[in-house]
């Protein structure tokens, strides 16, 4: 699956046609939504035992798409018939508006990256995304770290942590709540253009 698009683009035309013609109708319809097939190496999570995956890159590097697809994989599973490993996900950004407009409804947000039959529903009053399998992603603002006191999660997607005015407090509260399941994980999307003086070192793991 990994680097499948790179192989397909460089393969002779005969091999390309043979590959596509060999797919079932169902597989052909699913192919555009298999992110692992199309992703660049830096957009895929590392292997091994880890808790925090930090995606560093400039504008246009595909960080938001990588975060959205990672959340989808955690919730829905990475393969057909494979159950998701996460049921409670925290989406944490600098403000609620940024979580909603970038991480949820942005051009590369979770909703845009979801196949038509798997688009989660947005409950604006509760600030939640809910999937048909019952998994929920809750939006949080870094301006209100106390809101993270109490809820528990098995996954989290964090957006531009170095920009947060209450970064240390919000990050610490999130770590207390990230305790469901055998191996709760988090993905941190970070711009390389953020000045080094504003970056935090205590959250790199």
Is 58 strand, coil or helix? coil
Q: What are the tens digits of pLDDT across the range 98-124?
A: 999 999 999 999 999 999 989 999 999
Residue 204 covered by a domain: no
Same-domain pairing of 32 and 127: no
> Closest by alpha carbon to 192, among 54, 66, 81?
54
Q: Burial, 107: exposed, middle or buried (Cβ in 10 Å; 0-12, 13-18, 19+)? A: exposed
173 found inside a domain: yes
- What are residue 128's phi and psi, to 5 degrees? -135, 145
Whether residue 194 is found in the same domain as residue 93: yes
Do residues 92 and 68 share a domain?
A: yes
**In a domain? residue 83:** yes
Residue 203 is predicted with a pLDDT of: 43
Is residue 110 assigned to a domain?
yes
Domain shared by 70 and 34, yes or no: no
In terms of domains, do 121 and 22 share one?
no
Residue 205 lies in a domain: no
Residue 128 belongs to domain with CATH number: 3.40.50.300
Q: Is residue 149 part of a domain?
A: yes
Helix (H, G, I), strand (E, B) or coil at 185: strand
Identify the helix (H) or strand (E) that includes residue 8. Answer: helix 4-10
Mean pLDDT, to the nearest integer, of 193-202? 48
Beta carbons within 10 angstroms of residue 195's beta carbon: 7
Q: Exposed/middle/buried for 75, CB within 10 Å: 0-12, 13-18, 19+?
A: buried
What pLDDT is stored for residue 57 in this prediction? Answer: 85
Q: Do residues 109 and 171 share a domain?
A: yes
Do both 176 and 75 map to the same domain? yes
pLDDT tier at 204 (50, 70, 90 boundaries)? Answer: very low
123 in the same domain as 71: yes
Rg of the chain in Å (alpha carbons):
18
- Could you tell me if 69 and 131 lie in one domain? yes
Residues in the chain: 205
E-strand ranges in 7-161 read 52-57, 88-93, 121-123, 128-130, 136-141, 155-159
Q: Given a cut of 50, is residue 26 above it in pLDDT?
A: yes
Task: Indicate whether 75 belongs to any domain.
Answer: yes
**Is 47 in the same domain as 25?**
no
Domain co-membership, 102 together with 181: yes
The rounded distance, in Å, linking the Cα atoms of 155 and 14 is 43
Residue 196: the pLDDT is 47
Work out how many domains the chain is built from and give that number.
Answer: 2
pLDDT tens-digit readout, 111-160: 999 999 899 999 999 999 999 999 999 999 999 999 999 999 999 999 99
The answer on 135 and 94 residing in a single domain is yes
Supply 57's token pair.
Answer: 């890159």
Domain that holds residue 102: 41-198
**Beta strands of 133-194 (E only): which ranges?**
136-141, 155-159, 185-191
Query: For residue 26, what are its two tokens?
Result: 């169902």
| CB contact at 8 A, 1 and 37 | yes
Structural domain contains residue 123: yes
What pLDDT score does 95 carry? Answer: 96
37-75 per-position pLDDT tens digit = 888 888 999 988 899 999 988 888 899 999 999 999 999
């Amino acid at each position: 699956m990994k680097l499948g698009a790179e192989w397909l683009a460089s393969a002779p035309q005969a091999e390309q046609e043979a590959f596509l013609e060999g797919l079932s109708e169902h597989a052909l319809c699913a192919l555009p939504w298999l992110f692992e097939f199309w992703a660049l190496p830096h957009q895929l999570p590392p292997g091994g035992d880890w808790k925090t995956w930090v995606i560093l890159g400039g504008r246009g590097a595909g960080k938001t798409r990588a975060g959205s697809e990672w959340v989808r994989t955690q919730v829905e599973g990475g393969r057909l018939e494979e159950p998701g490993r996460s049921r409670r996900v925290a989406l944490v950004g600098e403000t609620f508006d940024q979580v909603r407009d970038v991480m949820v409804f942005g051009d590369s947000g979770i909703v845009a990256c979801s196949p038509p039959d798997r688009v989660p529903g947005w409950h604006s009053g509760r600030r939640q995304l809910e999937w048909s399998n019952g998994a929920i992603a809750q939006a949080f603002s870094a301006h209100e770290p106390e809101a993270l006191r109490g809820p528990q999660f098995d996954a989290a997607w964090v957006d531009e942590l170095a920009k947060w005015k209450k970064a240390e407090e919000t990050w610490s509260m999130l770590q207390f709540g990230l305790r469901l399941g055998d191996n709760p994980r988090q993905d941190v999307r970070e711009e390389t253009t953020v000045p080094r003086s504003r970056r935090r070192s205590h959250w790199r793991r």
